[in-house]
Chains A and B, each alone.
Chain A
Amino acid sequence: MIELLTSTYFKYLIIPLVTTFLVIFVKSASRRDKQPFLEKEDFSFGLEMGITAVLLLFMNSVNIAQQVVLDNSLTVVATEKILTLFLVTIFLMFGLWGMSTIVRKLGWENDKELKIFWGIVLPDVFGLLILIYAVSTIGNEIL
């Protein structure tokens, strides 16, 4: 079990798979009964995935900062690295805001339907990139 959890496959295969499945499933399952179970819009999971990944990174920065406070042997370089990670998290938040604006302005076919590329594929790829970055950074020895 531990081997599976620490393997590369778990990071880059199981985590994106489970996240995608859960986001789509929860979105479609919570829809009112009058509407169909699965709609095209449910496949736009990128922004939700991105938010989850950014929150994970944010919590990771907090954890590392606590380690630095507790361990006096950690150098100034370590502090700089934490600041870098924190800065990246802030940039990613802005990136998500930017992507939301792009979806809002370019992603809608009409009042209810999203466009395939601007509304679904682009935010999905972006969200997935942030998730890949988050799973690679978390657990990596950056100090």
Chain B
Amino acid sequence: MNLNKIKKLNLIYLISFIISFIAIIIAILSMLWSTYLFKIEIKFIYVIMAIFAALLGSLINIAFYKLTTKKYKSKIYISFSDKDSEIAQQIRRALIHERFILNIDEKNIQVGENIKQALTSEIKSSSIFIVLISKYSINSDFVKLEIQHAIKNNKIILPVLIDKNISIPSELKDLKYANFIKNQKEALNELIIAVKNNLKKLNQPITKSKNNATAANKKY
């Protein structure tokens, strides 16, 4: 694109902005002018009341959403390499937002506690095992061990692919993965839906006991 074309586009962009702002200002002034002309009394308190009402309307929607969204009792375990902690935190936050209960973070393990034992017991107490597949995690002994534990304990495994051109571990090859490389938001939504559907299959809403659900765990 040549310089003249860019200048022309910028000018059109600027003009459309100015016209838009002028249109908004004229609209506001015309409202004020007609309220004066028709002697309509709009007190400041009315405006405050309306803003408050709009906020209340939004809050009612949020409350409705919170009340109608089930809070699940089953735990979800996220397995990842330390080098992928940023994306793991992103997934963690999204799952917490959906009111799922997640396994404890490695940071919460006390000094002197056996990390392997603590994480193994966390996997055992979880129903769903999410594993982030990356160039780092496929070579991580910890992640390999966690995958083995998840398979051994018949956990539902949900793989998430976050790196290109890597060979997926043989144990996970047959499972469909959420593809974070293609479209992160879409993949995150797919993952959340998969978690929800699997928990539904396990009959794990808050009303059901954990023991019943563990018995229904499914091996992939």
Contacts and interface: CB of A to CB of B under 8 A. Distances in A.
Given A16-B54, A129-B28, A136 B62 contact: no
Chain A contact residues: helix, strand, loop or mixed: helix
Chain B contact residues: helix, strand, loop or mixed: helix
A117 interface: no
Contact of A17 (B19, B34, B57, B65): B57
Max count, chain A CB within 10 A of own CB: residue among B57, B62, B64, B98: B57
B50 A128 contact: yes
B40 A21 contact: no
B22 A133 contact: no
B20 A81 contact: no
Nearest to B24: A98
Give the contact-size bracket for chain B. 35 or more
B37 A92 contact: no
A105 B49 CA distance: 31
A112 B185 contact: yes
A19 B53 CA distance: 9
A68 interface: no
B220 interface: no
A35 interface: yes
A133 B42 contact: yes
B37 A81 contact: yes
B20 A101 contact: yes
A132 B189 contact: no
A98 B28 CA distance: 12
Interface string A12-54: 1111111111001100100001111110001101000000000
A38 B30 contact: no
A129 B48 CA distance: 11
A67 interface: no
Interface in B11-64: 13, 16-17, 19-24, 26-28, 30-31, 33-35, 37-38, 40-42, 46-47, 49-54, 56-58, 60-62, 64
Max count, chain A CB within 10 A of own CB: residue among B35, B40, B49: B49
Closest 9 CB pairs of A and B: A95-B27, A20-B57, A98-B23, A98-B20, A17-B53, A16-B53, A21-B57, A101-B20, A91-B30
9 contacts: A12-B49, A20-B53, A21-B57, A36-B189, A98-B24, A105-B20, A129-B31, A130-B31, A140-B38
